[in-house]
Chain A
């Protein structure tokens, strides 16, 4: 009996410490002007890469060979070679790029330029600007629908989610959401798109077909004034059943039942939690904590924070390579 317990305990311990496979996460540090590279096997920073001024939006290319990072104060997007772990090229974005979205083929990049109310379209291979779309004041959040036909851009002072037809590059609908919308995320089956409103304190659930808000998710945390609850990053599991919402200075990530839209629980993470990325096997979710300069690792199935990793100053964005 005793031996049996010991053995099963040992098995559980082994399962906990040895992830199925190792992945690489890239974290942009807004204040340090660096990108931290994290190995998800050892949960340690293996390299810190110098980049341009004020790195924020960050994403792997589809082939996993490069990482794009928006360096807002240098008015460009830098390209990091993953093999060399250094900046090798620059894309011509518009002024002050913050967040961007890659299309499904990884050939076209849509960039939100906060400073001049535009979305810039970039041909990744040719390194050329294909055009611009005029949107609302302070464009920020970017998301592409699963079928690639619609690009969502959120504008922070106009308080809208703009629906842009990716073929005609025209705005086809504008959906009013709560104040300072910062991030948009589609469900993989295109049944819903979620938009977080940082100052409004809500998530607007939008029907992408009807293009209207069907539900608003609100958050209540005992002991916290509602003004401190500021939703930013959203992570949705592939099956569309569970969502994670970073609540900024509330220092928590909300776990939301994405079917019923009810909040299941709040996970205490670091200070001012911004953005997040799943490991490809969806076992872990990594979130950036802006003020406490670290990354929290969440065990997705257990819905628990299992680890904290120190990175650079004011970590903001995070991306993990798909295998």
Chain B
């Protein structure tokens, strides 16, 4: 305690007069739902603090910068239980913070956005990948840091086409979000010149994801399910619900690679990413949280860093000034993806390269070479300006 005091006094003496003033306090909220999403693979079960841990690291990074600019960042996390009202929680959080990082399902996010519309609170969507949030349901007070399903699908399709794996056997799950991902993949196939040679549905008939005698049965089921397919190069699976896709690799009737929800997976981040200085953030994250950094962690880190970046450029913690900077032409952020990330001004979606990973390594990063664009190659991923249905308001 005494040592701390001495250090504090020493700091005050050393500090310039400007720094001696109270720092600008910038509060950031984190709003998410409790509960852990199911996964087929035990090693991929997300941690309790998935996402939040990334935001916490960004707060530390922001504060390292903030100490030179007399800004101080804090994070307040609110986790909603199943039946808790998101609008009420968002309004309560907005009393205390001007920015909210949201890890919410699409409908919840829209409710929060509508509730906070007249307050000037800025929402940063770190969790929802639904295209409709950036299209017909877009909102002027929501910035999307998470990529969209169509960005993920396009990133994968570009690589498969570059690899000349153009004939896809397409397997789709029976849940709504599986169908949404399937729509994005179908669109990507058409866009980049791949052909779906056959489409099959994998019905979720219920059942546990973990059983004592599971593998024997799966080993018999999957070859049967994938037999008698027309000639194909790659099996592409849409299974966001984690019902079957992870069972496919090494078990298909024909010896073919798997991509989509298993095998080669498009994602915004992976613990194996080490290019472009990424090893620095991986090390910082692991040191702070004693676990690997996930895509959701990275999306939340990027969201909190965007606020930090805008606050240091505008020298302000005012949500209006920060929002204006983020939406303006001068904003860009470095996020260990090898190029600057910027916002699409027509729907406030963060442009970003997408990693293609096999679970252990980063296989490639899209956009792929040769997929050109007149503005930014990153706009070859997802819905582009001429196609947008978004009217920001």
Q: A156-B334, A176-B312 are in contact. Are A200 and B68 (CB under 8 A)?
A: no
Residues on the B chain within 8 Å of A198, using CB: 334
Residues of chain B from 328 to 384 with CB closer than 8 A to chain A in the complex: 332-334, 338-340, 373, 375-378
> A117: CB under 8 A from chain B?
yes
A249 to B377 CA separation, bound complex (whole angstroms): 14
Q: A114-B280, A199-B332, A200-B332 are in contact. Are A159 and B339 (CB under 8 A)?
A: no
Query: CB-CB < 8 A to A263: which residues of B?
Result: none
Task: Please determine whether A136 and B64 come into contact, CB atoms closer than 8 angstroms.
Answer: yes
Which residues in window 256-295 of B have CB below 8 A to A? 277, 280-281, 283-284
Tell me if A187 counts as interface (CB < 8 A to partner B): no
A321 at the interface (CB under 8 A from B): no
Inter-chain CA distance A228–B338, complex, in Å, is 9
A198 to B377 CA separation, bound complex (whole angstroms): 18
**B362 CB → nearest A CB, Å:** 16
In the complex, chain B residues whose CB is within 8 Å of the CB of A137: 61, 64-65
In the complex, whether B116 has a CB less than 8 A from a CB of chain A is: no
A204 interfacial contact with B, CB 8 Å: no
- Evaluate whether A200 and B312 lie within 8 angstroms (CB atoms) in the complex, with A137-B64, A157-B61 already known: no
Please count the residue pairs between chain A and chain B whose beta carbons lie under 8 angstroms apart in the complex: 72
Cross-interface CB contact of B340 among A156, A162, A179, cutoff 8 Å: A179
Interface flags for A198-209 (1: CB within 8 Å of B; 0: not) read 111100000000
Q: Does A119 contact B (CB under 8 A)?
A: no
A225 CB contacts on chain B under 8 angstroms: 373, 375-377
**Interface residue B313 (Cβ < 8 Å from any Cβ of A):** yes
Determine the residue in chain B with the shortest Cβ distance to A227: B339
A170 interface residue (CB < 8 Å to B): yes
CB contacts (< 8 Å) of A201 on chain B: these are: 340
Question: A156 with B64: in contact, given A199-B340, A200-B332, A201-B340 (CB under 8 Å)?
Answer: no
- Residues of A near B283 (CB, < 8 A) are 96, 115
- Separation in Å of the B353 CB from the closest CB of chain A? 10
Name B68's contact: one of A138, A156, A174 (CB within 8 Å): A174
Q: How far is the CB of A169 from chain B (nearest CB, A)?
A: 11
- Distance from A313 Cβ to chain B, minimum over Cβ atoms (Å): 15
A78 at the interface (CB under 8 A from B): no
Decide yes or no whether A160 CB sits under 8 A from chain B.
yes
B332: min CB distance to chain A, Å: 6
Q: C-beta contact mask, B53-90 vs A, less than 8 Å → 1, else 0?
A: 00000000100110011000000000000000000000
Known contacts A115-B283, A200-B340, A230-B339: does B332 contact A158 (CB below 8 Å)?
A: no
Minimum Cβ distance to chain A for residue B41 (Å): 30
Interface membership of A252, Cβ < 8 A:
no
* B14 beta carbon closer than 8 Å to chain A: yes
Complex: chain A residue closest to B372, CB-CB: A225
Contacts of B332 in A (CB 8 A): 179, 199-200
B276–chain A nearest beta-carbon distance, Å:
9
Contact for A138 among B280, B312, B375, CB less than 8 A: B280
* Residue interface bits B3-19, CB-to-A below 8 A is 1, else 0: 00000000000100000
Interface residues of B in 193-213 (CB under 8 A from A): none
Tell me which residues across on chain B come within 8 A of A174, comparing CB atoms. 68-69
Question: Which residue on chain A has the smallest CB distance to residue B337?
Answer: A199
**Contact indicator A228/B339 (Cβ below 8 Å):** yes
CB neighbours of A158 from chain B (8 A): 61, 64-65, 68
**Cα distance A200–B339 in the bound complex, in angstroms:** 9
B373 contacts which chain A residues (CB < 8 A)? 225
Q: Tell me whether A275 is interfacial, beta carbon within 8 Å.
A: no
Can you name the residue of chain A whose Cβ is closest to the Cβ of B283? A115
Residues A227 and B61 in contact in the complex (CB < 8 Å), given A179-B334, A180-B334: no
- Residue A305 CB within 8 A of the other chain: no
> Which residues of chain B come closer than 8 Å to A162, judged between CB atoms?
68
Q: Given the complex, which residues of A lie within 8 Å of B61, measured CB to CB? A: 137, 157-158
Bound together, the chains give a CA A225 to CA B305 distance in angstroms of 25
A171 contacts the other chain (Cβ, under 8 Å)? yes
A residues 171-195 with Cβ under 8 Å of B? 171, 174, 176, 179-180
Q: Which residue of A lies closest to B351 (CB)?
A: A227
A182's nearest neighbour on chain B, judged by CB, is B277
State how many angstroms separate the Cβ of B59 from the closest Cβ of chain A.
12
Residues of A within 8 A of B378 (CB): 227
Q: Which 6 A-B pairs have the closest CB atoms?
A: A199-B334, A158-B65, A174-B68, A227-B339, A179-B334, A180-B334
A-B contact pairs, 7 of them (CB 8 A): A115-B283, A158-B61, A160-B65, A174-B68, A199-B334, A228-B339, A230-B339
Known A-B contacts: A156-B334, A157-B334, A227-B378. Give 10 more (CB < 8 A).
A96-B280, A155-B65, A156-B277, A157-B280, A174-B68, A179-B340, A198-B334, A199-B334, A200-B340, A227-B376
Residues of B within 8 A of A (CB): 14, 61, 64-65, 68-69, 277, 280-281, 283-284, 305, 309, 312-313, 332-334, 338-340, 373, 375-378
Which residues of A line the B interface, CB within 8 A? Answer: 96, 114-115, 117, 136-138, 155-160, 162, 170-171, 174, 176, 179-180, 198-201, 225, 227-228, 230, 249
